[in-house]
Structure 1
Amino acid sequence: MAHLLGAETVSMSFGTRTVLDSLSLGLEDGDRIGMVGRNGDGKSTLMRLLAGRITPDEGRVTKRGDVRVAYLDQSDVLDGQLTVGEAIVGEAADHEWAANPLVREVMGGLVGEVDWHAEVSSLSGGQKRRVALAKLLIGDHEVIMLDEPTNHLDVEGVAWLAKHLKNRWRANANGLLVVTHDRWFLDEICTSTWEIHDGTVDAFEGGYAAYVLARAERDKTASVVENKRQQLVKKELAWLRRGAPARTAKPKFRIEAANTLIADVPVARDTVELNKMATARQGKDVLDLEHVSLDFGTDKPLFNNITLRLAPGERVGIVGVNGSGKSTLLRLLNGDIEPSSGVIKRGKTVKTAILTQEVTELEEVSEMRLLEVIKSERMSFDVGGKEVSAGQLAEQLGFGTDKQWTPVKELSGGERRRLQLLRLLIGEPNVLMLDEPTNDLDTDTLAAIEDMLDGWPGTLVVVSHDRYLLERVTDHQIALLGDGKIRGLPGGVDQYLELRSGVDPSGNTGAPTDKSGPAGTPQADGPSAAEKREAKKELNRVERQVGKLETKIAKLHIQIAEASEKMEIDAVAKFNATLQDAESQKEELEMNWMEAAEIMGQ
């Protein structure tokens, strides 16, 4: 594979803190790399270095001379005075850009519902992100770098972007580098993962699920002392292996290794026990919305005669189109606003709390230290029937002893988000509502929050575009399709996407949305049914052959060990040559499996 760009012994420091330390790595043709790591460990810094936006303190960035690089920053880089059309295609006439199938596809997928003549400054955060992505994706580049591309996108937008990036290039052509906390997105598009920590980068094959497995295997092989971080990794691995069928569609030759690692890991949460605890705390009645409508004085109601009943210990996720009322529904449940008509019934012991998308609640305590904020509200906290101190709870959410004495005003965006959630939990609500809780959080922090919520005995309502989080912490999902109604999703997020595309799995017409874009051209179809059948046969063939090879490889290891004990040098060399040949065959078969699995959509 041809080299695209890379770094040679690169170092980068900010003040006294070294973010990257003598780092060397490269991006090759065919690479689809996702970067993970804690907030502040240097993911965005490394991407900006490779994109040529900043210069390293030491070392150099290399790039093949003809490589064109596109880079999407986290910040808003659009000129607010331009119209949407001008921001994307400049002065090009409609017939000029509409003749390009790539441009038509991007337009239809990202900005089909955005007013083409609206000024960028008038757009919402999600619409601005779509326009910025469209501007980047219509270009012809060999390398695309995306820093948190899913921020402000809804579930549908994330799904479209993943599909586009998977199909944009041939499997062995060009390169993609992405930083995101969206673990479903990482799993869907990435074939490699870079973990950035302590100034260096560890590379892993595969997307997020494969990375979690490899990290757990690495820790076990090195006989690392069991600590909280490793337990979280193993617990999340257990979830990945026991979760939805779509996520567990992994090569069978990796399953046994995963099962061995998680043999002693309990299920993510004991639903029966938690429901008992929730009923004891809440009683049988929690929150009921009966025939509720909300119109804000307009002709078109936001909600029209909806009914929603929340039971003790229920865990529900909410997905929906922008402007459909997801955040407003939480405010209704929290009692912040009253309906235009209908009744909201609240149980006598119900105590609600809502994590909003803003962090303005922390302004009043900005001068206090983190631990002082926690102790000022409560000294101890009950987690899954166990009492923990304020400091222990803070540590569970990633605030180490040194960080606990940091003034709130000096915390990063992700740390402020965690503290915001921590303050809510200290109040011991029994109905917790989270509005886009993944904003500004890294994957390790999200895993820590999910672990804590596993033992939280109450009713949970989550609004999020992060489908991994929704599937991980909720038991079922509902949809707001913009028609004033609530729709149950027994098929989960996949059913929601089918409804939005106008295909209802039950056979009915859903809420179709025009996805043709300004040029009126539909998106390209995927693999045919015949291609999928052939891919299925290939998967079965490869799995049988890999099974035989693994038996052969295990036998060869035994033979090599026995010959070594007997000092039979010639026999060792013979067995070793056979072993290398078998392992080479296995690697080739694994590549064939991945290609067939991509056609199958696994």
Structure 2
Amino acid sequence: MAHLLGAESVSVAYVTRSILDNVSLGLEDGDRIGMVGRNGDGKSTLMRLLAQRSTPDSGRVTKRRDVSVGYLDQSDVLDGDLEVGTAIVGDQADHEWASNPKIRDVMGGLVSEVDWHARVSSLSGGQKRRVALAKLLIGDDDVIMLDEPTNHLDVEGVAWLARHLQQRWRPTEGGLLVVTHDRWFLDEICNHTWEVHDAVVDDFDGGYAAYVLARAERDRMNSVIESKRVQLVKKELAWLRRGAPARTAKPKFRIEAANELIADVPEPRDSLALSKMAMSRLGKDVLDLEDISLAITDGEGQDRQLFDKITLRLAPGQRLGLVGVNGSGKTTLLRLLNGELQPTTGKVKKGKTVQTAVLSQEVRELDDVSNSRVIEVIESEKRVFAVGGKEVSASQLVEQLGFTNEKQWTRVSELSGGERRRLQLLRLLVGEPNVLMLDEPTNDLDTDTLSAIEDVLDGWPGTLVVVSHDRYLLERVTDSQMALLGDGRLRDLPGGVDQYLELRKAAGPMTATGSAASPAISGGSAGSSSKAELRQARKDLARIERQITKVDAQKGKLQQQMNDAGARSDADFEQIAGLNTRLQELQVEIEDLEVQWMEAAEVLGE
């Protein structure tokens, strides 16, 4: 493979510490490299050096003469006075760029919902990110470098970006270097992983799953002192092997070694034990939304129905993941559950013993303790905590989430964005809520910190609701998922995030109001169907509606049986699990019927 660019003995140091020390590495044709490491360890610094946006203190960066590099920084680099269209394609006429299939694909995947004539300065942070990414991807660079490209992208946007990068070059052409905390994304697109730590860079074959195994093997063979870190790596590896075997099929690593490593590692969490503990803390009633409707006024002054008679019942110990398109109401749903917002119609029922806590997307909750030190913030709540059935001190708990002895005495105002995010979550947990809601918790966090947070959540006995575009996190810490598709409804996802992406694909692009456009379903339209076909479609529609009503009634009975079974003092959790399995089967049946209903409605033109 031909060499594209690289670094020879580069070093970078700040006043107090060394960031990179005598690092040599290279990027060749066909390389798709993901960079991982703790916040502040030098990932972005290394990328800027390789993109020749900064210079090392010593050593040099090499680049083949004919190689062009496209680079997406974390900062806002767009001219705010430009219109969106001009910012992306410059002075090209519509017919010029529209004739290029690659540009059309990028536009459709990233900016189809952005006003083409809006000024960049008027866009939200997420929209600006999409425009900057589109501007980069329509080019023909030999090497693309992306620093946290999935920030502000929803699940669908992340999936599109992964697919685009997989298909952008032939397997032996082009080079990609990406820094991201999105572990699913790393596994989808990367064939190498660079771990930046302690001023050095270690190279591993494969994506994130292969890196986890290789790091565990390296730590075991070298008898690394960091035993706590090893246990976290092994625990995550156990989940990767047992819970998501498809991830381990792609990278090159030894399955025998993996099985040997995790032979003595328990499942990430004991769901049955946690359910019993949650029941004792919460009772049978947690939070219920019954026939909730909510209308909002959008930015143009138009009323929009955000929720239309949705029902959600949270059970003790339930771990629910929420996905959905931007603007579909995920954060609003959390605010309804937390009692911050009242619905237009419907009821919100809250159990008597329920104590909620919400990790918001902002970190303003720490403003009142900005002059305190990290350890003081936690000790002010409590000095000893129960985690996973064991008692730990405040100092031990703080260290578990990445605050070293030195960092524990840092003032909150001096923490980085990722460190503030960690402390924000830690402060919520020590308040001992029994219902925890996390709104995009992965923002600003590195992969090691995410593993540590997942480890803490594994032993947390309460009801958990997570809103996130990070599908790895959703699959890791939640047991069921639901979706908001922008049409006012809340859907179960027995098939997880993959099912959500299929539903979004069937629903088609979003309209300007945020609702899904009519799906393009094959099979003719009202204008071209014969009278016989129209009669049959009407019969099918009536039959399907009857079936949906019937299955919905069965679902209601099952839900009541689960509630009754959970309310008994001698609750049979195996029986509850069986009822829940049947409930998921009924939901799949409803989804199939809904697809049939849409096909029949398409024939009628409804």
Same fold flag (TM > 0.5): yes
Which SS does the other structure have where 1:323 is aligned?
coil
* Structure 2 counterpart of 1:439, one-letter code: N
Which SS does the other structure have where 1:400 is aligned?
coil
Percentage identity across paired residues of the two chains: 77
Deviation at 1:248, TM superposition (A): 4.2
Match of 1:542 in 2: none
Q: What is the rounded CA distance, in whole Å, between the counterparts of 2:469 and 2:32 in structure 1?
A: 22
Q: What is the rounded CA distance, in whole Å, between the counterparts of 2:441 and 2:420 in structure 1?
A: 12
Match of 1:34 in 2: 34
Match of 1:159 in 2: 159
Match of 1:317 in 2: 321
Deviation at 1:71, TM superposition (A): 0.3
Q: What is the rounded CA distance, in whole Å, between the counterparts of 1:426 and 1:361 in structure 2?
A: 15
Is residue 10–residue 20 contact of structure 1 (8 Å, CA) maintained in 2? yes
* Structure 1 counterpart of 2:58, one-letter code: E
* Structure 2 counterpart of 1:423, one-letter code: R
Which SS does the other structure have where 1:74 is aligned?
coil
Gaps of at least 5 residues in structure 2 are 509-514, 521-606
Decide whether aligned partners of structure 1 residues 251 and 201 sit closer, same or farther in structure 2, where only a CA change above 3 A counts.
closer
Q: What is the rounded CA distance, in whole Å, between the counterparts of 2:390 and 2:358 in structure 1?
A: 23
Is residue 242–residue 248 contact of structure 1 (8 Å, CA) maintained in 2? no
Matches within 5 A, 1:1-16: 1-16=1-16
Which SS does the other structure have where 1:490 is aligned?
coil
Is residue 321–residue 466 contact of structure 2 (8 Å, CA) maintained in 1? yes
Match of 1:62 in 2: 62
Deviation at 1:218, TM superposition (A): 1.2
Match of 1:223 in 2: 223
Q: What is the rounded CA distance, in whole Å, between the counterparts of 2:281 and 2:470 in structure 1?
A: 29
Q: What is the rounded CA distance, in whole Å, between the counterparts of 1:80 and 1:184 in structure 2?
A: 32
Which SS does the other structure have where 2:41 is aligned?
coil
Match of 1:351 in 2: 355
Match of 2:402 in 1: 398
Matches within 5 A, 1:76-91: 76-91=76-91
The correspondence for 2:419, drawn from 415, 418, 430, is 415
Decide whether aligned partners of structure 1 residues 250 and 28 sit closer, same or farther in structure 2, where only a CA change above 3 A counts.
closer
Deviation at 1:445, TM superposition (A): 0.2
Q: What is the rounded CA distance, in whole Å, between the counterparts of 1:382 and 1:294 in structure 2?
A: 39
Matches within 5 A, 1:371-520: 371-502=375-506, 511=516
Which sits farther off after the overlay, 242-251 or 223-232? 242-251
* Structure 2 counterpart of 1:392, one-letter code: Q
Match of 2:242 in 1: 242
Which SS does the other structure have where 1:46 is aligned?
helix
Q: What is the rounded CA distance, in whole Å, between the counterparts of 1:250 and 1:17 in structure 2?
A: 38
Q: What is the rounded CA distance, in whole Å, between the counterparts of 1:62 and 1:250 in structure 2?
A: 31
* Structure 2 counterpart of 1:310, one-letter code: L
Does residue 74 of structure 1 match 2:74?
Answer: yes
Q: What is the rounded CA distance, in whole Å, between the counterparts of 1:229 and 1:261 in structure 2?
A: 14
Match of 2:180 in 1: 180
Does residue 330 of structure 1 match 2:334?
Answer: yes
Give me the TM-score of the superposition, normalised by structure 1.
0.83
Which SS does the other structure have where 1:178 is aligned?
strand
Decide whether aligned partners of structure 1 residues 194 and 281 sit closer, same or farther in structure 2, where only a CA change above 3 A counts.
same
Deviation at 1:217, TM superposition (A): 1.2
Match of 1:538 in 2: none
RMSD over aligned CA atoms reads 1.6
Q: What is the rounded CA distance, in whole Å, between the counterparts of 1:435 and 1:485 in structure 2?
A: 20
Q: What is the rounded CA distance, in whole Å, between the counterparts of 1:288 and 1:246 in structure 2?
A: 35
Deviation at 1:261, TM superposition (A): 0.8
Match of 1:123 in 2: 123
Gaps of at least 5 residues in structure 1 are 505-509, 516-602
Q: What is the rounded CA distance, in whole Å, between the counterparts of 1:252 and 1:56 in structure 2?
A: 34
Q: What is the rounded CA distance, in whole Å, between the counterparts of 2:261 and 2:151 in structure 1?
A: 33
Q: What is the rounded CA distance, in whole Å, between the counterparts of 1:238 and 1:339 in structure 2?
A: 42
Which sits farther off after the overlay, 96-105 or 42-51? 96-105
Deviations, residues 463-522 of structure 1 (Å, cap 9, x unaligned): 000000000000010000001110110000001000111179xxxxx955789xxxxxxx
Deviations, residues 504-552 of structure 1 (Å, cap 9, x unaligned): 9xxxxx955789xxxxxxxxxxxxxxxxxxxxxxxxxxxxxxxxxxxxx
Deviations, residues 189-209 of structure 1 (Å, cap 9, x unaligned): 000000000111000000000
Decide whether aligned partners of structure 1 residues 201 and 497 sit closer, same or farther in structure 2, where only a CA change above 3 A counts.
same
Which SS does the other structure have where 2:380 is aligned?
helix
* Structure 2 counterpart of 1:311, one-letter code: A
Q: What is the rounded CA distance, in whole Å, between the counterparts of 1:60 and 1:244 in structure 2?
A: 41
Matches within 5 A, 1:261-276: 261-276=261-276
Decide whether aligned partners of structure 1 residues 245 and 213 sit closer, same or farther in structure 2, where only a CA change above 3 A counts.
closer
Is residue 83–residue 119 contact of structure 2 (8 Å, CA) maintained in 1? yes
Match of 1:531 in 2: none
Match of 2:198 in 1: 198
Which SS does the other structure have where 1:196 is aligned?
strand
Decide whether aligned partners of structure 1 residues 348 and 309 sit closer, same or farther in structure 2, where only a CA change above 3 A counts.
same
Which SS does the other structure have where 1:59 is aligned?
strand
Is residue 67–residue 143 contact of structure 2 (8 Å, CA) maintained in 1? yes
Which sits farther off after the overlay, 190-199 or 368-377? 368-377
Q: What is the rounded CA distance, in whole Å, between the counterparts of 1:512 and 1:471 in structure 2?
A: 28
Decide whether aligned partners of structure 1 residues 513 and 44 sit closer, same or farther in structure 2, where only a CA change above 3 A counts.
farther
Does residue 370 of structure 1 match 2:350?
Answer: no
Is residue 293–residue 306 contact of structure 2 (8 Å, CA) maintained in 1? yes
Q: What is the rounded CA distance, in whole Å, between the counterparts of 1:9 and 1:315 in structure 2?
A: 48
Which SS does the other structure have where 1:214 is aligned?
helix
* Structure 2 counterpart of 1:173, one-letter code: E
Q: What is the rounded CA distance, in whole Å, between the counterparts of 1:121 and 1:292 in structure 2?
A: 36
- Aligned residue pairs total 510
Deviation at 1:300, TM superposition (A): 2.1
Matches within 5 A, 1:126-145: 126-145=126-145
Deviation at 1:299, TM superposition (A): 3.4
* Structure 2 counterpart of 1:223, one-letter code: S
Match of 2:602 in 1: none
Which SS does the other structure have where 1:209 is aligned?
helix
Decide whether aligned partners of structure 1 residues 438 and 454 sit closer, same or farther in structure 2, where only a CA change above 3 A counts.
same
Q: What is the rounded CA distance, in whole Å, between the counterparts of 2:272 and 2:485 in structure 1?
A: 32
Q: What is the rounded CA distance, in whole Å, between the counterparts of 1:253 and 1:218 in structure 2?
A: 13
Q: What is the rounded CA distance, in whole Å, between the counterparts of 2:93 and 2:137 in structure 1?
A: 18
Q: What is the rounded CA distance, in whole Å, between the counterparts of 1:192 and 1:252 in structure 2?
A: 11
Q: What is the rounded CA distance, in whole Å, between the counterparts of 1:134 and 1:468 in structure 2?
A: 25
